[in-house]
Amino acid sequence: MILIFTVCHLLSSCKKINNKLPVFKYHEISAPNSDTVLSISFPDLYCGYVITNAGFFKTMNAGQNWTFLDQTNQGIIQFHNRNFGVLPNGRITTDGGLTWTVNAPFEYACMTAEGKVIALDKLSKDYSLMYETDPLDTVFHFIDTIGYYGLNSVVAPKVSRIESHMGYMIIIPLDIAYDPIIGYSYNTPGYFQLMNDWTDAEKPVDICSGFGEFKTCGGQGYIGSVNLPENENEANALVYPNRNYHAHKNDYYSIDRFDDFYIAVGRNSIVTTKEFKKEGNTFKEVLDADKNPFNETFYIVDIIDQNTFVVAASGGKIYYGTFD
């Protein structure tokens, strides 16, 4: 099922910093018949795509009805608009998931904010080949060979997730306890390596791009910020993430950004920086309609616009949320 939220901000005087917590009110609408949600992508308020254990579905009315497209269950799906989307293996659709290009399978592919598709193909233990398309195009062009040999003897990792933004690419490895997170700068060019100085319990599982930074989230309440290199001398340096722990130690599984605010979701927790910019982008807990903490686990968040976001929860539930 899907729930629609409305956030009521409990504001103090406009001259004071808001220390109250946002509260959600919601009502229920339908969802695909599934018990596990693997991926969500809503390019606008009404059109959305989900991959569940039951298959690949599309809605054109904000989840009131869903249309079954096919049986694919391939990880993270990303749509730039209602028609243009990409699967993690680099297959692209230009007709809203009805048909897909037959590209040579890549190790991983992702969509940029400009509508380009970035793809990696592992060449050897030391090298990966990087490709990209033009915006809203399906033809891949070779960009560069990424050599990991210069990064403290790092070998080419198996990729779990890629995030690309404003000339930077961050690669999250599948085995983050062993392999470091690696970044690549298109502009400099150069590489930067994020040191894995977190514990196994904290290790990041998701990443999203911001303005001059990337934010990561993981276990034990870990939410961290990584400032991007600003010049060529820094591009090949080691980068240490700055921790920004929340008050509790709940695990976080997904983080997303829209404009100047973030939302992170996890075990019994939704947190956001929205409306708290005066407090240095502090993450504040979101409460349910009864002003209590949530008692379920959230695995995915996808922010649609300044006021609307979608979250996948345990038991195959999806919440369609609206900030009021």
- pLDDT, one tens digit per residue, over 220-251 is 888 887 777 666 566 566 666 666 656 667 89
What is the identity of the amino acid at 99? Answer: T
Tally of CB atoms within 10 A around 161: 20
Q: Band of the pLDDT at 9, cuts 50, 70, 90?
A: very low
Q: What is the pLDDT of residue 237?
A: 62
**Of the candidate ranges 45-54, 58-67, 198-207, the one whose mean pLDDT is the lowest:** 198-207
Asked whether residue 45 carries a pLDDT value surpassing 50, the answer given is yes
* Contact in structure between 268 and 293 (CB atoms under 8 Å): yes
What is the identity of the amino acid at 234? Answer: E
How much is the mean pLDDT over the chain?
A: 77
Q: What is the 3-state secondary structure (H, E, C) of 127-176?
A: EEEEEEECCCCCCEEEEEEEEHHHCCCCCCCCEEEEEEECCEEEEEECCC
**Separation of alpha carbons 210 and 231, rounded Å:** 18
**Separation of alpha carbons 37 and 1, rounded Å:** 11
Mean pLDDT value across residues 43-47: 94
Q: What is the pLDDT of residue 16?
A: 36
168: nearest Cα among 146, 192, 148: 192
Best mean pLDDT range from 74-78, 86-90, 159-163, 288-292: 86-90
Q: Band of the pLDDT at 59, cuts 50, 70, 90?
A: very high
**Tokens 């308020």 map to which residue?**
45
Q: What are 100-147's pLDDT values in tens digits?
A: 998 777 888 888 888 999 888 877 766 788 888 999 999 999 988 776
Higher pLDDT, 46 or 185: 46
In angstroms, the Cα distances linking 303 to 27, 29, 195, 265, 274 are 19, 19, 28, 12, 12
**Tokens 């695909």 map to which residue?**
32
Length of the chain: 324
Q: What is the pLDDT of residue 207?
A: 84
End-to-end CA distance of the chain: 22
Q: What is the pLDDT of residue 236?
A: 61
Q: What is the pLDDT of residue 35?
A: 85
Q: Dig out the tokens for 306 from the structure.
A: 């300044």
Looking at the DSSP assignment, which residues form a beta bridge with residue 87? none
* Contact in structure between 215 and 206 (CB atoms under 8 Å): no
What DSSP state is assigned to residue 198?
S
